[in-house]
Structure 1
Amino acid sequence: MTVKLIATDMDGTFLDNHGEYDRPRFTKIYRALQQRGIQFVIASGHQAVELADYFADYPDMWLIGGNGAELLNARVGLSAETFTPSATAQVLAGLAPYPELQLALCGTRTVYVAQNANPSFVAQMRDYYYQLETVADLTTVTEPVVKFDVICPPEKTDQLVYELTPKLAGIAVPVSGGQGSMDLIQPGMHKGRALKRLGQRLGIAPTEMLAFGDGTNDLEMFHYVKTGVAMQNAPANVKANAAAVTGTNLDGGVLSYIEQHVLEA
């Protein structure tokens, strides 16, 4: 297989359940990929600036943040596409009838949550995002929004995606990140589109790309690249859209696949 770019999701894919990965093993693999001229790309719902912090030892790495809205390379800088103020207001109005939802507005650097939000939700967001601020009213946030992070009752996730999809049509697209969470992203703004932009910039065709993921927000990557690889811990619908399945995020499934099918090929 001719591979010039490898993209991977973070949570549930590249990282274990403690937010870690085998650093010495990855460093060895990353150096081998560099020697072969293969780009390694992180594609995540995390903010790009947070990803840059996390992978500061690899300044040549390209980072896709905000589920496709952000593209960052430490040597090149950050580009981001954001919701218009009117679209942000429409999304907030559309979510108002759902008091069971916990909501975070994600800018390129700061994430905003309501002061009266559930404390456990606030703690969860502090663990996940680079910089968090609480505000009395989310409608007063003026920083451009990259995406909305929504936590919901796990048993209602699919139904909420079903209801919100037509309700927010043309404004935002609900994408499940697993039972109990979803992102609202800009229409047409997903990881697959970001890979297309990056590929055009680097002169790499989708037939030369490989992508790993475990959630429905990774499906656009699978559909764009030649080889989409699902994690063993991914739900059935994600596996059904993949060309291959590797191990779980707990046993280094991404690194094992790269070693066996890219570096040893």
Structure 2
Amino acid sequence: MIKLAAFDVDGTLRDRDYLPESTRTALLKLKERGVALALCTGRSEYEMESLRKELAIDWAVTCNGSHIGYQGKTVFGNAFPKETVAGWLHEAERNNHAVLLYGAELMFTNRENDSLFLQAQREIGFMEPVPLQTGEEMPDVYQCIMFCNEEEETGYIRDRRESYYIHRWRPWAVDINPNGMNKALGLRRLLDHLQLAPHEVAAFGDGLNDLELIESVGTGIAMGNACDELKAKARFVTKSIHENGIAYAVEKWIL
């Protein structure tokens, strides 16, 4: 019996501003059956606040698993050492790279109106980050997005690649998370907190950063618009987001 359903956001629950009415209905049905809901996304808690409230979802596993919040408040967090972030900011300034830092409540950037950030904002949507001020105390940072190519990322990762979870989602943009965190490890921490077993969980995703998530639960479901690598790992493949894929899967394999 499924007791919790976890949902990736972009390409799964919504496509930019498009969120199918059938998805809202399916989530309501799950809640009426006593199934807990959780967002499970590479985005920040800050960015997910309005969606979480809109869909009445209490739990959010954000920053690719590095931050877990309940109704917007931090429950668990795995932040970078502050000296690591400070070093990255120094390297970014030296190379004229934009950096996006995900805190628990805000997003920060070292460069306003950077062309690559603006391109990402046009393509997938980002809320406006807060400019970092010189001498400002560094907040806890749970995820960093570097706007640089794969060759240039070596200046940040150096010989510690095995210490991070790295998800390159554009040739010019990469997510970096601490201590090898990913969505599966973040969700597992939530499951331990809720005293649930993986076989009692369904998870939905569409991208490469959902691979570990889909494999870690009893019912891993790939969207019809998912990448081929994820479809190969999933227990089920549903229809695409524009074909009411969430509602189809909820009726067919969960309820």
Relative to the length of structure 2, the TM-score reads 0.83
C-alpha deviation, 1:93, in angstroms: 5.7
Separation in 1 of the partners of 2:35 and 2:57? 11
- 1:173 corresponds, among 165, 168, 185, to 165
CA distance in 2, matches of 1:14, 1:196: 21
Find the counterpart in structure 1 of residue 188 from structure 2.
196
Tell me whether 1:209 sits opposite 2:201 in the alignment: yes
2:7 aligned with 1:19: no
Matching of residue 118 in structure 1 with residue 114 in structure 2: yes
Counterpart Cα distance in 2 of 1:238 and 1:94: 34
Q: Which moved more, 1:57-66 or 1:43-52?
A: 57-66
Superposed CA RMSD in Å reads 3.0
Q: CA deviation at 1:54?
A: 1.8
Tell me, in whole angstroms, the C-alpha distance in 2 between the residues paired with 1:181 and 1:123.
10
For 1:71, the aligned partner's letter is I
Q: Give yes or no for contact 1:82–1:145 (8 Å, CA) kept in 2.
A: yes
1:224 match: 216
Structure 1 30/13 Cα, relative in aligned 2: closer, same or farther at 3 Å? closer
2:81 to 79, 84, 87: 84
Aligned identity (percent) is: 24
- Given that 1:178 and 1:215 are in contact with CA atoms closer than 8 Å, whether structure 2 keeps it comes out as no
Q: Which amino acid aligns with 2:70?
A: N
1:9 aligns with 2:5: no
Matched residue, 2:38: 41
**Whole-angstrom CA distance in 1 between matches of 2:189 and 2:225:** 29
How many residues in Structure 1 have an aligned counterpart in Structure 2? Answer: 252
Q: Is the contact between residue 167 and residue 176 of structure 2 (CA under 8 Å) also seen in structure 1?
A: yes
TM-score normalised by length of structure 1: 0.80
Pair 1:243-2:235 in alignment: yes
CA 246–59 in structure 1, closer or farther in 2 if over 3 Å, else same: closer
1:187 to 171, 179, 182: 179
